[in-house]
Each structure stands twice: as structure tokens, then as C-alpha cells.
């Protein structure tokens, strides 16, 4: 299990003197899960590669009492670090924000920074009520998301050819090219029904894509990967196996690319892309933005 809090030293640090004197505590504080504050916070902190940060997410801070508990943690971190912490927050309730600001910290209030300009633009006051954002995801698209997850699980790794007409996308590629995590992310984050099928030695011998997939050619989407990276990944799973050997990985990747290109299947390279990036690229391809 990952330990919390996490100390991050960004790679490629240029080791400037000023910032290396110590560790700065950063708190991601939210009245919800804190995932948004943490994600944007990570992007911001990644811009300061010479600094070392101690990261902590404090979710569900939805009362003044909880805010006061945060204040105690922030103060303790300031004492320990010898420098005031940074707080990245997305709290909606003004009273909770006020309680939090009793602490001495650099406050980056992602909500407050934007809500004023939005009110002015829309000519409407913000409701400042907590949790309505959750209502949206739960009510309208919740069942669709759960359905997408169930569908994706049932169609992971070629388990089933049934109901493929319901799929939004069918990912294909060699074993360990990233199909499963990408499919799951598409389902969880975007409510996309994503089946996935491995291209296996039988497909390369027969030298054509499985006919049951070709019936849904318009939904096919290929993942490729560098043979070197593939060999690394497979070696972690089955060290010393034929499956993991570089020449075999090279052959499979090439053969898969040829099969997919011959059938006009769009292919993206998963080698240096995160699950989120792969999912967003696929979504962009299968749901092309309307040209206004």
C-alpha cells in the first residue's frame, strides 16, 4: 500500500540552492473527495521541479469543525517544516473557507478564484451549496456508468462476443498493450462501453482479424506499443518466457500493426501515454467534436 503523506521529489531537478533547504507541506482540501484539487495541484507543483513537497489530501471537509481540524494539521506542518504550507482547496461553503483561513498558509482556492468572474458573466448569484455537483453524476448518468463498467468487465480480454452491437468501442492489440486499463478508465470516467480483444498468435497465423470483430469494424480501435517496452512489461509478468522475448514481442507488434492497417483500423501508440491520455484520445476519435 502506498504510504501517506507522500514526499515527492520531482525528477530532473536542477538543484537550485534556494528551494532545496527543506520540504514544503501541501494540503489538497475539499468538501468532496479532493481528487480534483489533488489532480490540478499535481500539475501546478510539477512546474517546480527543484522543490520538494510533502503532499496530503484532506477530503470531506464540509463543516467548520472539520476545517478547524485541518487548521491544526496545517499549523503542525508549518512548525515541522519551518515554512508555511500551501493549501489547494475546492471548498464551496464560505463559512468553512473562513474557518480554514485561520491557518497561515498560501491558499490557492480553485473554487473562489473562478466563481466571482462566473457570477459577473452570467448575471446570476452562485448557490454556494455543497454537493450539487455530485447530484449530476449520480442521477443522470450513474446507471449508464455502472452499466458501462459491467459491460466492459464482461468483455475484458475477449471473454465474450455477445452484445458487441452495444459496444461504443472495441480495443484490439497484442497482450499487454494497455487495452484492459484503458477500457476500464473509459467506462469508469466516461461511461463508455469498451470491449477489448487480444490479438494472439492464431490471428497472426491466420493473418486476418477475427471475423466476429470484423463485423464491427467501425468500432475497432488499435493499441500499439514499442516492442522494447512490451518485452519489459511481459518480463515482469512472466520472466524468461518465450512470450516476453524481444524477438517475439517484435514479431507480434509488427504482425498486429499490419493486420490493423490492412483493415483500416485507427491505431495509437500506448508506449509513453498514461491511461487517461489513451482514454481521452480514443474518446476524441470515437466522438468527434461537432464543428460549431
Q: Please give the annotated binding residues for ADP, written as ranges.
A: 173-180
Which CB, 114 or 160, lies closer to a copy of itself? 114
Taking the complex as a whole, how short is the minimal distance between the CB of residue 173 and a copy of itself, in angstroms?
15
Taking the complex as a whole, how short is the minimal distance between the CB of residue 140 and a copy of itself, in angstroms?
8
Q: Residues within the annotated binding site? A: 173-180
Which CB, 27 or 259, lies closer to a copy of itself? 27
Taking the complex as a whole, how short is the minimal distance between the CB of residue 255 and a copy of itself, in angstroms?
24
Three-class DSSP category at 47: coil
Taking the complex as a whole, how short is the minimal distance between the CB of residue 158 and a copy of itself, in angstroms?
14
Q: Containing H/E element for 261?
A: helix 246-262
Can you tell me the distance from the alpha carbon of 41 to that of 39, in angstroms, rounded to the nearest whole number?
5
Can you tell me the distance from the alpha carbon of 288 to that of 268, in angstroms, rounded to the nearest whole number?
16
Contact status, residue 57 vs residue 25, Cβ threshold 8 Å: no
Which CB, 68 or 133, lies closer to a copy of itself? 133
Taking the complex as a whole, how short is the minimal distance between the CB of residue 254 and a copy of itself, in angstroms?
24
DSSP 62: -
Three-class DSSP category at 148: helix
Q: Measured in whole angstroms, how far is the alpha carbon of residue 65 from the centre of its chain?
A: 32
Strand 52-58 to strand 6-9: parallel, antiparallel, or no bridges (unpaired)? antiparallel
**Where are the extended beta strands (E) located within the chain?**
6-9, 23-29, 52-58, 86-89, 106-109, 169-174, 194-199, 220-224, 267-269
Amino acid at each position: 500500500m502506498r504510504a501517506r503523506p507522500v514526499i515527492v521529489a520531482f525528477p530532473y531537478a536542477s538543484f537550485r540552492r534556494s528551494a532545496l533547504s527543506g520540504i514544503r507541506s501541501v494540503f489538497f482540501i475539499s468538501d468532496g473527495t479532493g481528487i480534483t484539487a489533488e489532480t490540478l495541484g499535481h500539475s501546478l507543483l510539477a512546474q517546480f521541479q527543484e522543490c520538494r513537497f510533502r503532499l496530503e489530501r484532506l477530503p470531506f471537509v464540509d463543516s467548520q469543525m472539520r476545517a478547524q481540524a485541518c487548521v491544526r494539521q496545517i499549523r503542525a506542518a508549518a512548525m515541522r517544516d519551518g515554512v508555511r504550507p500551501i493549501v489547494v482547496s475546492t471548498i464551496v461553503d464560505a463559512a468553512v473557507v473562513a474557518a480554514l483561513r485561520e491557518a497561515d498558509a498560501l491558499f490557492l482556492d480553485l473554487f473562489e478564484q473562478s466563481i466571482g468572474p462566473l457570477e459577473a458573466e452570467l448575471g446570476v448569484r452562485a448557490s454556494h451549496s455543497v454537493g450539487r455537483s455530485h447530484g449530476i453524476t449520480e442521477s443522470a448518468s450513474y446507471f449508464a456508468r455502472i452499466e458501462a463498467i459491467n459491460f466492459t468487465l464482461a468483455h475484458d480480454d475477449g471473454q465474450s462476443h455477445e452484445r458487441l452491437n452495444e459496444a461504443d468501442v472495441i480495443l484490439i492489440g497484442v497482450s499487454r498493450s494497455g487495452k484492459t486499463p484503458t477500457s476500464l478508465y473509459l467506462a469508469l470516467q466516461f461511461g463508455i462501453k469498451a470491449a477489448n480483444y487480444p490479438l494472439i498468435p492464431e490471428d497472426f497465423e491466420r493473418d486476418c482479424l477475427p471475423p466476429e470483430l470484423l463485423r464491427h469494424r467501425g468500432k475497432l480501435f488499435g493499441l500499439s506499443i514499442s516492442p522494447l517496452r512490451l518485452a519489459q512489461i511481459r518480463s515482469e509478468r512472466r520472466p524468461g518466457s518465450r512470450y516476453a522475448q524481444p524477438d517475439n514481442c517484435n514479431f507480434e507488434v509488427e504482425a498486429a500493426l499490419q493486420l490493423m492497417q490492412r483493415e483500416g483500423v485507427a491505431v495509437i501508440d500506448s508506449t509513453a501515454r498514461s491511461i487517461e491520455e489513451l482514454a481521452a484520445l480514443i474518446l476524441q476519435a470515437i466522438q468527434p467534436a461537432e464543428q460549431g
